[in-house]
A = this chain, B = another copy of it.
Amino acid sequence: MSLDPLFKPRSVAIIGASARPYTIGHRILTNLMEHGFTGPLFPVNPKGGTIHNLMVYRSIIEIPSEVDLAHIIVKNTLVKPVLVDCAEKGVRVAIVNTSGFSETGPEGLALEEELVATARELGIRVFGPNCQGVMNTDPAVSLYSNFTFARMVPGHISILAQGGGVAEIINNYFGMNEIGTRMYASNGNASDISIPEILAYYGDDPETRVIVLHVESFRRPARFLEVAREVAHRKPILALKSGYTEEGARAVSSHTGGMMGRDTTSDILFERAGVLRFNDLTSLCETAKAFECQPVPRGPRVGIVTNAGSPAIVATDEVVRYGLVIPPLSDRSADVLREKLKGFAAVSNPIDMAATASAEEYGVSFKALLDDEGIDSVIVCFITPFFVDTEAIAREIARLAAEAEKTLLCVAMTNENWKDTVDIVKKAGVPVYYFPEAASQVLYQMERYRRLRDRPPGEPKSYPAEREAVDRILAEATIMENGFLSGPDVNRILDAYGIPRVREGTAGNFEQLRPLAAGMGYPVVLKVMSREVVHKSDSGGVLLDIKDDPELKEAFDTLHDRFGGLADVRYTVQEQVSGGVEVIVGAAGIGELGHSIMFGLGGIFVETLEDVTFRLAPISEADAGAMLDGIKASGILKGARGRPPVNREALVEILLRTSNLVAAHPAIAELDLNPVFAHPERDRTRVVDARIRIER
């Protein structure tokens, strides 16, 4: 079913409407009337009477006309019978404002489940319960179906928010600042009509240009991903996901899991979907304001024109700090400006015309930036000196903006006395900021969206693998403490998926180890193997740099002294690799979404530097490449200080094969390949140590 009856109802009943002013039932009816809902409204209350000159029906059944949408504001235990009446009347959607459901505990949850089951049976959709409601500023509908108090300014931002408080402060912010919104929904417990469903609806609404989203938890993350990915490609979705504070505290036992704190799951979900995540509402709302009226920038190159030098320097600093570009002017632009501007004007980027700049000079400079092929977006800054006709400047900006195809932002450094000047620019569809760096920050976010949207799509890549063999290994494996697999099982799994690892052999005594070491060639590493020793390095169970037979004997004796008493102890001799960079490849199960894949600097750097990137499995070749480039230390892979670069293809392949492995075997809860030895030669790029934890 389309959500049209929810957002574009032809009529609304308010069940639980009240004549008492300080009640939700009164407020919703009043809001609908005061904001000019275009259809009939039907208050319903068993007491009857009149509210705002509207006759109150004792039951919805009595209403002598069709009803699309009903607000239900009755006691929680009465919602179900009211829903039955609604269904009988042919109501298609019920907004249940009533609280006292799943948010209160097990009893309320049972009541909510019953409510949803009833609604499904009756063929009626439920929005809520424990929710605010919806809005639609479309003049053909003008629906303020909510008990809050924001202004409705018709425009192109649609809001979708789980938390009612956050929903309302976003909505109210737009209203206060005369920023145009389109639709609004805050669906509380989201028992039936879901966030993905509303998101899809906004995606299909031609007047919605940008979507503002607030979530606290993903109920159906896979469905969210599917919808968001499709919508985000067409219009920007700006999201605040709150509540990471609690999620940071999960208990984990692998490096990859350890790095996954702080709500990384949401990050990789948003990344895959192409959703822009924000940490603060100010940036989110100010960016939405720009997307509401301006096109997505074509690239990162910013031109700035100003009549005050120092604020333009602040804007420039901030543009550059965020990785955007302030290119020099083209020769043609510079020629035009040198001819037409005053001698003291700075013909450069930023173009600084000084405080005396006239409307004509603004026109010349702004036009030069609009015509300059090396510029993707323009920030027009102005102060309002008392000796200049600032309205003429604003009109000139507005005139040129009307024909422009580039992304335009304005910084107007003035106050309420110049409201008319500023309004001319705003009405031309150019978003106005006060502080110069605010515009720079917004442009950065817009460019971030462009990059997400324009990423190469990339399909997951599969390599041949012995999937059934791994199924068998996992089925038959003896699980060590905490769910870890034994070393030999881990090795067999890596081999089955063609993940290259260093040569090694395992034995119980020195006489058997010696020929193994000789076979692979010194130097070698000697490691203890026992179920009791999970963190081998940390326990002194790994000895490096063993150069010959006598040193092997010495190393063996050392480990034997330390661990010889363990019942299952054995020793692994492993070729020692050198000349490369230690990296980590990891994976962690994240429920319905499958697995995250991690890449970062390995060894002792993993936890201390936290220089890792994540993607959602399965990953494409492009994803794997972006992961290599995405760590801060990526320069090391490319060959720092005269070293040869590591073999990129080999690392990409290990990432892809790891992705294949975890995607095919959901029982793998955590996997660390740490370190992987990234080497200039493809054949010497190999996994040195690996751990796999399974959850059945």
Closest chain B residue to A315, Cβ basis: B242
* Distance between Cα atoms of A692 and B320 in the complex (Å): 32
Given known A22-B386, A216-B313, A609-B632, contact A308–B165 (CB-CB < 8 A) = yes
Which one, B165, B169, B633, contacts A605 given CB within 8 A?
A: B633
Given known A282-B438, A310-B163, A609-B609, contact A168–B413 (CB-CB < 8 A) = yes
Closest chain B residue to A440, Cβ basis: B280
Closest chain B residue to A636, Cβ basis: B608
Q: Which residues of A from 12 to 27 have beta carbons under 8 Å from B?
A: 22-24, 27
Q: Which residues of A from 225 to 275 have beta carbons under 8 Å from B?
A: 240, 242-245, 248
> A201 contacts the other chain (Cβ, under 8 Å)?
no
* Distance between Cα atoms of A27 and B538 in the complex (Å): 74
Contact check, B641 vs A538: say whether CB atoms are below 8 A apart. yes
Contact check, B149 vs A415: say whether CB atoms are below 8 A apart. yes
Q: Which of A77-85, A171-179, A473-481, A500-508 contacts B (4 or more CB under 8 A)?
A: A171-179
Q: Which residues of A from 417 to 438 have beta carbons under 8 Å from B?
A: 417, 434-438
Encode A562-603 as 1/0 by CB contact (under 8 A) with B: 000000000000000000000000000000000000000001
Q: Quick one: which of A147, A383, A547 has the most chain B CB within 10 A?
A: A383
* Distance between Cα atoms of A145 and B50 in the complex (Å): 63
Closest chain B residue to A240, Cβ basis: B314
Contact check, B435 vs A280: say whether CB atoms are below 8 A apart. yes
> A635 contacts the other chain (Cβ, under 8 Å)?
yes
Contact check, A608 vs B415: say whether CB atoms are below 8 A apart. no
> A162 contacts the other chain (Cβ, under 8 Å)?
yes
> A404 contacts the other chain (Cβ, under 8 Å)?
no
Which one, B313, B316, B434, B642, contacts A173 given CB within 8 A?
A: B434
* Distance between Cα atoms of A176 and B413 in the complex (Å): 11
Residues in B with CB closer than 8 Å to A610 are 632
Which one, B313, B441, B609, B641, contacts A242 given CB within 8 A?
A: B313
> A559 contacts the other chain (Cβ, under 8 Å)?
no
Contact check, A23 vs B165: say whether CB atoms are below 8 A apart. no
Given known A22-B386, A173-B434, contact A413–B165 (CB-CB < 8 A) = yes
Size band of the A side of the interface? 35 or more
* Distance between Cα atoms of A386 and B318 in the complex (Å): 41
Q: Which residues of A from 601 to 649 have beta carbons under 8 Å from B?
A: 603-605, 607-611, 632-636, 640-643
* Distance between Cα atoms of A314 and B239 in the complex (Å): 13
Residues in B with CB closer than 8 Å to A321 are 244, 279
Which one, B167, B387, B414, B438, contacts A23 given CB within 8 A?
A: B387
Given known A243-B317, A539-B642, A633-B605, contact A437–B282 (CB-CB < 8 A) = yes
Contact check, B608 vs A634: say whether CB atoms are below 8 A apart. yes
* Distance between Cα atoms of A67 and B317 in the complex (Å): 43
Residues in B with CB closer than 8 Å to A312 are 165
Q: Which residues of A from 171 to 221 have beta carbons under 8 Å from B?
A: 172-173, 175-176, 214, 216
Q: What's the least CB distance linking A592 to chain B, in Å? A: 23
Closest chain B residue to A545, Cβ basis: B578
Residues in B with CB closer than 8 Å to A311 are 163, 165-166, 169
Closest chain B residue to A352, Cβ basis: B165
Which one, B150, B632, B640, contacts A604 given CB within 8 A?
A: B640
Contact check, B242 vs A314: say whether CB atoms are below 8 A apart. yes
> A363 contacts the other chain (Cβ, under 8 Å)?
no
Residues in B with CB closer than 8 Å to A317 are 242-245, 279
Q: Which 3 A-B pairs have the closest CB atoms?
A: A163-B310, A165-B308, A538-B642
